[in-house]
Structure 1
Amino acid sequence: MILFDVDGVFLSEERCFDASALSIWELLYAPHFLAAEKDRHTTQPGEEQIRFIRETVFDHDRVLDWMKSKGINSNWDMVFLGFSAQLLQLLKTLVPRHKEKVERFLLEPITEESLRSLAGWGEAEITSFRPSFAAFPQLFKGKQAISKHELLTYFNELASEWFSIPVTQFSRNSSLWELGYSVYQEWYLGAELYRQTEGRDARESGKKGFLYQEIPLAQPEKIRKLLTGLREQGITIGIGTGRSFLETKVPFEQLDLFPLFAENHIATATDVIAAEEAYPEFAPLGKPEPYTYVKAYLGREAEISACLREALPLADGKQILIVGDSVADFLAARKMGCDFAATLTGLTGQAARAKFEELGADFILEDVTCLEKIFANGSV
């Protein structure tokens, strides 16, 4: 069996990262959120504006690279962390004049409504606030070894230290995380598909959806040839991705690739969210936790509890190859006892080679189609 990640392997992550940056930008600048500078928000940015926003929000991708190096593989988590960092720094500037209001804000769930309220009573300071996006890694000074789990709750610790009150609003299962998720989904799916999938209208009309602008990382014909050849060798082809099922199916159908995967062995963020809701004590379950790949391995019909109980490393782990572009994928593969093939088509490109060599990846591929040579030579 071969289990593939999607972003950075088959499809470029660029559009996902663009949507993440635009989501953080909207939460900061849109009039229905913090309204820091109302005229900076638009639902239909041109390519030049998208590039500017992403370069600004992620400091020319240095912040993205930092997050990825810590095992953050979900764009929803990236939005949550990126916006939370700026929100906390803004609240710090509000304390001198609004100490009690800041404390009340932090003691209640952070929602769309509470952000609008904050935009009202903190307007004078907010309009002069200038986000320090490049300073994001500095907020973790002295925490170089922080794990993904710790990272997703770290801002509770930082806020409690800064404001001298117990804060619990910054976590993976918070209303703030859910807010970032919904804004990202609007950008990525577009207003119409968002309404169809989420069962409610987008906050604004006009978002076209980056899902329909995906960029394949190799010629679709070559990918099709690779997958067809693997199937002919009796290899089961599955997917383990941080995308939702819909976000996986739509672009692969457009590229005429979806039928080549064993649908029973496709696991996505949709499965991860369902597992976290059913067993919150195990959350978070996204990569680098192996749940996504374990679910793909056992099959869609496997019960959540069975996936969580599966003994690791797998007894037949060496019969499974996991193909991904990130450290998170590598860590998940190793926990399962599986071989790992790293593709150099992710965020950092060729620069990732040294990291994967250091980690001891079993294979390092220029792109996913290089798997064809490996299997043809009988190396696996």
Structure 2
Amino acid sequence: MIKTILFDVDGVMLSEERYFDASALTVWEFLHSPLYLGLSGDVFTASPEEKDIRRVRELVFVNDEVLNFIKSRGINSNWDMVYLTVAYQIIRLCERLKAELGQKVTDLLTGQINRAELARLAEWAKEYAPDFAIEYAKFTTDFSRGNAQKAEMLLYLNQIARERCGVVTNVFSRNSDLWQLCQETFQEWYLGDDRIAASIGRETMQPGKKGFLNDEIPIVSPEEMIQLFRTLKEKGYTLGIGTGRPSIETHVPLGELKLLEWFDPNRVVTATHVLEAEKESPAHAPLSKPHPFCYVKGLLGLDTPNSEVHSFALPVPNGDEVLIVGDSPADMLAAQAMGCRFAATLTGLSGKAARSKFESAKADYILDDVRDILSILE
């Protein structure tokens, strides 16, 4: 009998749409802003109108084909999505520059890519490749040649660098300066000028970003979710959260919607806790979904030392007493690694079209939305 229910947030309680918008804008900034690569072909602004946001997302993610592909490979983190997309275009630009610059490009691709290196690359592009064409659709084409899944996708960038540029490197990974820069720049877009310093310890590099945190879209009405969580609490279930959102992006919107109060505070695990665990023990990284760390931590409690979470034997004892509710293959893979039950909600990026994938993967339950959870509980 189920006793503990751990919920994802995006695609279950809140729409992922604004996260994907922020991801697209981050990629766009890296490629077109004068503070980054400054490539021609589009004019960057830190304060785009809604119609521009729609256009940028359609362009960068090829009408969401790139997003769907990345998520189908088990990537659940928007930070990883941004990094993959930005790094891939950097590799393509380096391929174009290699004939002219030779060893300089090799040196760039075998060292850490930080702001200084991006500035150098921007100067090279301006001089030697002013007509460089960004081709977003090629991302899916190149990654489809391999079978990289989950965190392996980030490492597969090294293979693409070798194939396209003839450079043997291992610089592309989650533990890189470029990944950190992508993460911080995404946070600028999502949190906006007013909140960013509390998150990353500095102001936005390009002021004008209003953020999306106050523009969240509940998947079902807050009133209905409140009633659902109240009912579950009254029935004696322990409720927790395992999300790829950082803490501020979890607590603020769920708090404003009066949803957070229904969850055990000791079991609300966010990407902030995951990053802290990775920094504390780099050998265990990456720990983002589909790694089960956030759900195991949620099961054991935030007061459980990370060392005990890492060493906790999987599958978990009495796994049939734990239900994980998520919208993505990454959530399901985490649940399967733990030996827990999994309920898929058809309210993520793919919507009801995801049903067949969850059926073929043998999800325990498939729900039209989170409200249907009451129908599967004893």
TM-score range, shorter chain: over 0.9
In structure 2, the residue matched to 1:367 is 369
Amino acid of the structure 2 residue aligned with 1:326 = S
Provide closer, same or farther for how the CA distance between residues 134 and 39 of structure 1 changes in structure 2, counting only shifts above 3 A.
Answer: closer
- Equivalent residue for 1:132, pick from 120, 130, 135: 135
In structure 2, the residue matched to 1:356 is 358
- Equivalent residue for 2:270, pick from 268, 271, 275: 268
- Equivalent residue for 1:106, pick from 106, 109, 117: 109
Matches within 5 A, 1:1-380: 1-37=4-40, 40-143=43-146, 145-375=147-377, 378=378
After alignment, is 288-297 or 196-205 more displaced?
196-205
TM-score (norm 1): 0.96
2: CA distance, partners of 1:127 / 1:44? 25
3-state secondary structure, aligned to 1:40: coil
3-state secondary structure, aligned to 1:360: coil
- By how many angstroms is 1:49 displaced? 0.7
Deviations 1:114-170 (A, max 9, x none): 111211133134431111101111112431x32213211111122134333331221
CA RMSD, Structure 1 to Structure 2 (Å): 1.2
Please say if residues 36 and 126 of structure 1, whose CA atoms lie closer than 8 Å, have aligned partners that are also in contact.
no
Please say if residues 75 and 151 of structure 2, whose CA atoms lie closer than 8 Å, have aligned partners that are also in contact.
no
TM-score (norm 2): 0.97
Please say if residues 314 and 339 of structure 2, whose CA atoms lie closer than 8 Å, have aligned partners that are also in contact.
yes
3-state secondary structure, aligned to 1:96: helix
2: CA distance, partners of 1:163 / 1:359? 37
1: CA distance, partners of 2:144 / 2:216? 36
Deviations 1:203-247 (A, max 9, x none): 011101111111000000000000000000110110000111111
Please say if residues 225 and 371 of structure 2, whose CA atoms lie closer than 8 Å, have aligned partners that are also in contact.
yes
1: CA distance, partners of 2:144 / 2:201? 41
3-state secondary structure, aligned to 2:295: helix
Amino acid of the structure 2 residue aligned with 1:307 = V
Amino acid of the structure 2 residue aligned with 1:229 = T
3-state secondary structure, aligned to 1:152: helix
3-state secondary structure, aligned to 2:151: helix
Structure 2: gaps of 5 or more residues: none
2: CA distance, partners of 1:58 / 1:50? 12
- By how many angstroms is 1:265 displaced? 0.5
2: CA distance, partners of 1:370 / 1:141? 35
2: CA distance, partners of 1:148 / 1:157? 15
Deviations 1:176-210 (A, max 9, x none): 10010011000001012001222211101110111
Please say if residues 193 and 209 of structure 2, whose CA atoms lie closer than 8 Å, have aligned partners that are also in contact.
yes
2: CA distance, partners of 1:24 / 1:39? 12
2: CA distance, partners of 1:237 / 1:340? 15
Please say if residues 92 and 164 of structure 2, whose CA atoms lie closer than 8 Å, have aligned partners that are also in contact.
no
Provide closer, same or farther for how the CA distance between residues 102 and 255 of structure 1 changes in structure 2, counting only shifts above 3 A.
Answer: same
Deviations 1:28-55 (A, max 9, x none): 0000000003862111111111111101
Please say if residues 151 and 286 of structure 2, whose CA atoms lie closer than 8 Å, have aligned partners that are also in contact.
yes
After alignment, is 117-126 or 9-18 more displaced?
117-126
2: CA distance, partners of 1:112 / 1:284? 23
Amino acid of the structure 2 residue aligned with 1:300 = L
Please say if residues 30 and 37 of structure 1, whose CA atoms lie closer than 8 Å, have aligned partners that are also in contact.
no
Q: Size of the alignment, in residue pairs?
A: 375
Please say if residues 97 and 124 of structure 2, whose CA atoms lie closer than 8 Å, have aligned partners that are also in contact.
no
2: CA distance, partners of 1:76 / 1:68? 12
Provide closer, same or farther for how the CA distance between residues 251 and 93 of structure 1 changes in structure 2, counting only shifts above 3 A.
Answer: same
3-state secondary structure, aligned to 1:342: strand
